[in-house]
Amino acid sequence: MPNQKSGLGKGLNALLPDAAAESGSNAEINELPLNLISPNPNQPRTNFDDSGIAELGESIKKEGLLQPIVVRPDGKKYQIIAGERRWQACKNIGMETVPVKIMQVDEVKTLELALIENLQRTNLNPMEEARGYKPLIEATGMTQEQLADTVCKSRVAITNAIRLLDLPDEVQEMIYEHKISSGHARAILAVPDEEKRIKLAQKIIDEKLSVRDAENLARLFSVDQGERKSRIPSPRTFKVVARKLRQELGTTVQVKNSRGKNRIEIGFQDEDDLVRIFNIISGKTAE
């Protein structure tokens, strides 16, 4: 079996001892009053399932808290590094104290461990994942490739996740609320215009479009915008001349600019009609 990458591949239990070694702490298990513990404000997960936490609380009632909450000192209190769901469940069932591991780690390491724990235990919402990666990159200065190695994901997966942050806030909220998928979001990103991104996202929801349908529609949206950007309004003279030529020649006439070149296009039905038009233009009879 090939060696696994560091980070998520090593497992959270392996990372925590590493963090303890860095801080010079053995991270012994202690009991702390629940009211001295607060959640990490930079916790990647922002949407916790109430029913899941209630079930966890019932399990803790029966079996006890089998895995301690990992915290770090924060002034006179403690901030959660890993285990916010367990902390919430303990609060819900009225526990006064909980077993904890106290670790001396900085804010960057806390953010890294919190992100890895959430990725490892339950799939994060795509927007939660993207919003978790961004501050970690900003805080550490690591490249997307280094981050990919840390959380044991491909660089492409990291890039695709972070690109979601380029979407309008309205579309990000749709992803967060599971109204559209990451696949839909990638299709929307192919549309350059922000207003059209919002319009496409809403159309995906209203018409329950598949990812393939969204991709096809995104191409139409993009082509339409590209044409509008490159199209220069025709001078009024073009329209006047085209109208007069249509009257004179008795056929369809277009005067336009195509790819930087001005053109006159004259339609004809058949060979006889072509000869007729030639005679009018030249004032001669075609041989």
The Cα–Cα gap between 132 and 161 comes to 10
Active site residue 84: yes
Strand runs labelled E in 103-160? none
The Cα–Cα gap between 119 and 130 comes to 12
Longest dimension (CA), the chain: 108
- Report DSSP letters for 251-270, one per residue: S-EEEEEETTEEEEEE--SS
Q: Among 28, 31, 84, 173, which one carries the catalytic annotation? A: 84
Which residues are CB-contacts of 195 (< 8 A; sequence separation ≥ 6)?
none
The Cα–Cα gap between 58 and 54 comes to 6
Just list the catalytic residues.
Answer: 84
